[in-house]
Structure 1
Amino acid sequence: MLEWLKQKAGAHLDAGKAVAVLGGDHSTPLGYIHALAERHEEFGILQIDAHCDLRPAYEGFEYSHASIMYNALQLPQVKKLVQVGIRDFCQQEAELAERSNGRIIMFPERFLREELYGGKSWRKECKKIIAQLPQKVYISFDIDGLDPKLCPGTGTPVPGGLEFEEALYLIRMVVRSGREIIGCDLNEVAPGDTDWNGIVGARLLYQLCNWMAVSQGRIAARDMKKVEDEE
């Protein structure tokens, strides 16, 4: 699958398309990240997720959803991994992040909430997150990065998580900072008893694709000048 997606995504990129990958579980976009690594000298990954996904292997399998970011970091073109909303990780993953010399930056949910409850604004927290990112950014969005009330059908829900508008505000702030979103994925959206999971997932995908297009100069955003003036 890695090689298949690398080839398919690469062909679309070479045709001048902006590409978004839909999972499946979070292991799916690795081939796309490989394709981007062949076309960009360096970039960072903004990962919105409940989990770190930094395990070398999970139950003996090296290409599972629990290893996607560990595998992505094997690519030297991935200069930075910035993780947002994390609230479930193991000791091995924590030690890997600590040994990364700043290549892995984690913004756990508990840390973000403590800052907000202490009077800091979400805007200020977003600026801290974005300051860790290089000019070119790949967004990897696991739906369980959101509060489980927004994605009750996902496979590994964890209490806590971002609100829908908090996630979109962060994405918009990435674009407003002048950074380019070179690609994105959305994973782990699973059906439930109603259409709710699909509704949230579809709206999130719509926003991801549109803001990626804005960052690449493919479409204009009406609110961009207003925000620049505020800055």
Structure 2
Amino acid sequence: MHQAQAQPHVTLIGVPTDVGASRLGAAMGPDALRVAQLGPALAQLGVQVHDIGNLAGPPNPRGARDAAGMRNLAECIAWNQLTHDAVWQALQQGRLPIMLGGDHVLATGSISAVARHCRAKGQRLRVLWLDAHSDCNTPDNSPSGNMHGMPVASLCGLGPRALAEMSGAVPALPASAFCQIGLRSVDMYEKHMIRELGLHVFDMRAIDELGMREVMRRALADLGPNDHLHVSFDVDFLDPDIAPGTGTPVRGGPNYREAQLCMEMVADTGRLGSLDIVELNPALDLRNQTAELVVDLVQSLFGQSTLARE
């Protein structure tokens, strides 16, 4: 039996805002995860957990679209800068940051900090984007103007300038660094953007045809020993039958076992360096069951499995 590798020290960073989302409620996500005992669940696995609490930022103005087609841009920039700074600080301390959202626009700040860190250390960054949506709309082409549909475009250098430049380089990372898994709600413009950018995508048809094991094998196949793996986990990745507590549910997502296998195979790489958990909306949940499921999956991401395996 091989020796289990040492568990990382993690920092929990609550970012309680839904300024980028279409529905209110994701601002309560960080506290729902704490109610579901995320910190103690990780501590059970030998992870040293430091919870810095929730960041404080501007309220959600519920604004109309601006002239460039975006909602709440100033507030989205402010929250992303706060997120960037907190994630950057955790990485500088040698800790693994877990950003507790909040909506998915916050991945712009989180991944910008990770990209900055990887450039400084000479590491290659890989991002697993677990989501029902591709989130690569641009302000010109967003059907809604909601910023949580634009973080991938921003990170690839195509979003609002303040977000695109947040990592200190444009783009923050190449589109080839992304691997998107679980997509099943993609508008016509995003389909065009996926092709234009060359994003690596395994949609739900690919999961149906290949199985989650083969999808994850391919997604993780070229991870090297010096690579930093970032997982951006949108709760709507999961099928709403098992995870109703999210603002943009889409039928036909991964079931419980498929999601567990996905997380276990990430854990097997030993390369997880940072994590986002976003779009948990307890206002739409049933007795916090979605938050409890997410905690269960995050335990798998940190190595909990049914049996000790070779």
Return the match for 2:273 from 176, 182, 187. 182
Does structure 1 residue 167 correspond to structure 2 residue 259?
A: yes
Counterpart of 1:152 in 2: which secondary structure? coil
2:292 counterpart letter in structure 1: I
**Partner residue in 2 for 1:229:** none
For structure 2, the 5+ residue unaligned runs are 1-78, 158-170
Shift of 1:59: 5.5
**Partner residue in 2 for 1:77:** 173
Shift of 1:124: 2.4
Distance in 2, Cα, partners of 1:73 & 1:185: 18
Q: Kindly report which structure 2 residues correspond to 1:80-91, keeping only aligned pairs within 5 A, or say none.
A: 80-91=177-188
Distance in 1, Cα, partners of 2:101 & 2:241: 20
Counterpart of 1:19 in 2: which secondary structure? strand
Shift of 1:60: 7.1
Structure-1-length-normalised TM-score: 0.80
Counterpart of 1:223 in 2: which secondary structure? coil
Cα-to-partner distance string for 1:180-199 (whole Å, 9 max, x where unaligned) = 11211111111124221221
Q: Kindly report which structure 2 residues correspond to 1:95-134, keeping only aligned pairs within 5 A, or say none.
A: 95-100=192-197, 102=198, 104-116=199-211, 122-131=212-221
Shift of 1:96: 1.3
CA RMSD of aligned residues (A): 2.4
> Which entry has the higher C-alpha Rg, 1 or 2?
2
For structure 1, the 5+ residue unaligned runs are 117-121, 215-221, 227-231
Shift of 1:175: 3.6
Distance in 2, Cα, partners of 1:200 & 1:174: 17
**Partner residue in 2 for 1:49:** 131
Structure-2-length-normalised TM-score: 0.61
**Contact 1:137/1:179 (8 A) holds in 2:** no
Cα-to-partner distance string for 1:97-126 (whole Å, 9 max, x where unaligned) = 1122x4x1111102221334xxxxx32232
Shift of 1:179: 5.5
**Contact 1:82/1:133 (8 A) holds in 2:** no
Percent of residue pairs bearing the same amino acid type: 26
**Contact 1:43/1:80 (8 A) holds in 2:** yes
CA, structure 1 residues 184+95, in 2 after alignment: closer, same or farther (shift >3 Å)? same
CA, structure 1 residues 205+173, in 2 after alignment: closer, same or farther (shift >3 Å)? closer
**Contact 1:87/1:158 (8 A) holds in 2:** yes
**Partner residue in 2 for 1:219:** none
Does structure 1 residue 37 correspond to structure 2 residue 115?
A: yes
2:221 counterpart letter in structure 1: A
CA, structure 1 residues 126+28, in 2 after alignment: closer, same or farther (shift >3 Å)? same
CA, structure 1 residues 15+76, in 2 after alignment: closer, same or farther (shift >3 Å)? closer
Distance in 1, Cα, partners of 2:153 & 2:245: 26
Counterpart of 1:28 in 2: which secondary structure? helix
**Contact 2:263/2:297 (8 A) holds in 1:** no
Return the match for 1:155 from 237, 242, 247. 247
